[in-house]
Structure 1
Amino acid sequence: MWICRLVAQPWPCADARLALVDGFRDRTPSLTLLLAGQFVEALGDLDTIAPKLRTPPDSRVLDERFIGWVPVRRT
């Protein structure tokens, strides 16, 4: 279901985002690749559960949820 266990919010919730940023400090490309993989996996899961949903999530919303929040460093 892609839900944060502790707060029952959509994953990655605020706590998960903080933990991910902390765990991938100075390795933003690696974090982005990890989250892109999770995004693809979530899209696959959505194909399985979409028939049961009245309104499936928009892929742009999922993109923002999984990848769009990652801090970007400009050089």
Structure 2
Amino acid sequence: MSTSTRPHLPVRPLWICKRCAHPWPCAEARLALLAEYAGDRLALSVHLYGQLYDAAQELHRLNPDGAPSPQALFARFVGWAPPRSPTPPS
């Protein structure tokens, strides 16, 4: 797989993007997740909460005093994803 086609996946336990080294989920990973789960926002939420759970444990284990706050992790992993598709105006 070439570098230009490598997906934006997390490198664990650091939770940085394998391709761009930004905190995961990076902007490109978020777009890919929105596309992948376009028809099922509930499944996207379940997936993201699972990732949040794993990341919180692993990041705390790596650096107990410097791990991101719960609020920062929530915003990073879950807060960006709309809970459901917007409804068209009536």
**TM category, shorter:** 0.7 to 0.9
Aligned residue type for 1:14 = A
RMSD of aligned alpha carbons:
1.5
Q: Aligned match of 1:27 in 40, 58, 62?
A: 40
Runs of 4+ in 1 over 6 A off after TM superposition: none
Deviation at 1:31, TM superposition (A): 0.3
Deviation at 1:71, TM superposition (A): 1.7
Q: Bigger radius of gyration, 1 or 2?
A: 2
Query: Separation in 1 of the partners of 2:73 and 2:26?
Result: 13
TM-score normalised by structure 1 residue count: 0.87
Larger RCO of the pair (alpha carbons < 8 Å, separation 6+): 1
In structure 2, the gaps of 5 or more residues are 1-13
Deviation at 1:5, TM superposition (A): 1.3
Deviates more, 1:28-37 or 1:41-50: 41-50
Aligned residue for 2:81? 70
In structure 1, the gaps of 5 or more residues are none
Aligned residue for 1:61? 72
Aligned residue for 1:5? 18
Size of the alignment, in residue pairs?
73
CA contact (8 A) 2:60 2:67 kept: no
Identity %: 41
Query: Separation in 1 of the partners of 2:41 and 2:81?
Result: 8
TM-score normalised by structure 2 residue count: 0.73
Query: Separation in 1 of the partners of 2:56 and 2:67?
Result: 11
Query: Separation in 2 of the partners of 1:24 and 1:56?
Result: 29
